[in-house]
Structure formats: structure tokens, C-alpha cells
Amino acid sequence: MSERLKGKVAVVTGASKGIGASIAKHLADEGAAVVVNYASSKAGADRVVAEITGKGGTAIAVQADLAQEAQIRRLFAVAREVFGRLDILVNNAGVYEFTRLEDVTAEHFHRQFNLNVLGLILASREAVKHFGTAGGSIINISSVAATAPVATASVYSATKAAVDAVTKALAKELGPRQIRVNSINPGMVETEGLHAAGIPGSDFRKQVEAQTPLGRIGQPQDIAPAAAFLASDDARWITGETLHIAGGYR
């Protein structure tokens, strides 16, 4: 087990499955104490915590809907109460819903923007209150959809373009406080959500793979090591960046 993040405390939102779960486990492997946030899947979050603690790591599961401001505040209050500090925030919680323009509704728009953008901003605001004088690292999970949108993903792609803009703006605003802000922009990654959407066996997947130089879609463990790097002092002079991890897909 590496000690690169020893003594650090991380909050990972939406960490009960998929990319968030993999990031939580990687941060713990690097020595961080991890708050595994979940909105509804307590069983999933408990499994992630059990896997971390089973390997000698430190983690707790905390329920909070990142689309609800009061619950965001409670998440960080619990993290501070249990671990006494905060050094890393991974804004991974998000939702995606593809639909044709004629079917776009205000509800469809707000469901995605309230979590993917507003929730991310409010979580960052709370984290900054708890970071110490040494600063901290905020890692936003964006998407290649921010710069390479696909049909029927107008609203989702717009949320991720917003995340990239927020990343750059906050990097400039928070830099004087030694708080670094970067985003990771994954390509298509095989997660529970992807399976629930029926994408793994679809023509859409085959099309994406055909346009990906490395010839496959990603796995959660392809993304997580980059988050651990950006959270660490190895990335101490990196801020405001968007790191595409997509097998070369553009």
C-alpha cells in the first residue's frame, strides 16, 4: 500500500459504484481516509467501505443527495467531525439522460444541471471551508461529452462543458489559497449505469470503439489512478487542467 496520500482525508461523491467507487478505493490504497458518499445505494457504499477496510484502509459511508444543499452541508460536517480535516474532494456524483430535442423538458434539464453543475459548485464551496491553510485538491469528473457531444445529449453535454468552465474559473479563484482544481474527462466507461442504459451491447458502443485509437471502451480502474495522482503532491503545480482519459477518442 502506497503512502502518497498518508494523513490526507478525501470526500468522494457518488462513490457507491462505477468510477466513484474505483476512485475511493484507489485513494484509500494511497493512504487517504475516504468518505464514501452515496445518494441511495447504501449497500453499494457499504461494500466499497468493506473492501477498503478489509485491506487495512480507513473509510466511512455517508448518505447525501448532492442535489440538496442542506445534505451537502451535512456531508462535509460529518467528514470533519469524524476525521478532523479535509484535503481532497472528488466531485464524481452525476446523472446522465439522453433524449431527443423534442422530448427535452424543464425537468430533464434541471435534474442534470442541479446535480452535475450546481451540486458540484456547492460541494466545492463547502469543501473549501474545511480545507486547511495548506490548501487542497478538487477533482471534477467531467466527460469527453464536454467537447465531443453526441446526438440526443444536448443537456448532458452542456452540463459537462459547464464543469470544465467551472474547473478553470475555480482554479484561478482558489489558486492563491493553494487549492488546486482539475477535471478528468473520461470517455465511455463500462459501469453499472452504462449497463442499465443498455449501451454495452449497442451500436453506439461499437461506433465509439471504432473511433477510439486504443480500440476499446474504458474501465473504472482506467480512470482512478489519475484521480490519485491529481490528489497528490506529485501534481502540486497542476491546476485548471482537463485531462482526457478516453483511449484517444475525440
CA 188 from centroid of its chain's CA atoms = 14
* Alpha-carbon span 157 to 98, nearest angstrom: 9
State yes or no: is 38 an active-site residue.
no
Please list, in sequence order, all residues whose beta carbon lies within 8 angstroms of the beta carbon of residue 206, skipping any fewer than 6 positions away: none
| Whole-angstrom distance, CA of residue 66 vs CA of residue 94 | 9
**How many angstroms separate the CA atoms of 195 and 183, rounded?**
24
CA distance 209 to 189: 11
Question: CB-based burial of residue 210 (10 Å sphere; 0-12 exposed, 13-18 middle, 19+ buried)?
Answer: exposed
Q: What type of residue sits at position 192?
A: E
Contact of 35 with 83, CB cutoff 8 Å? yes
d(CA 158, CA 161): 5
Q: Which residues are catalytic?
A: 156
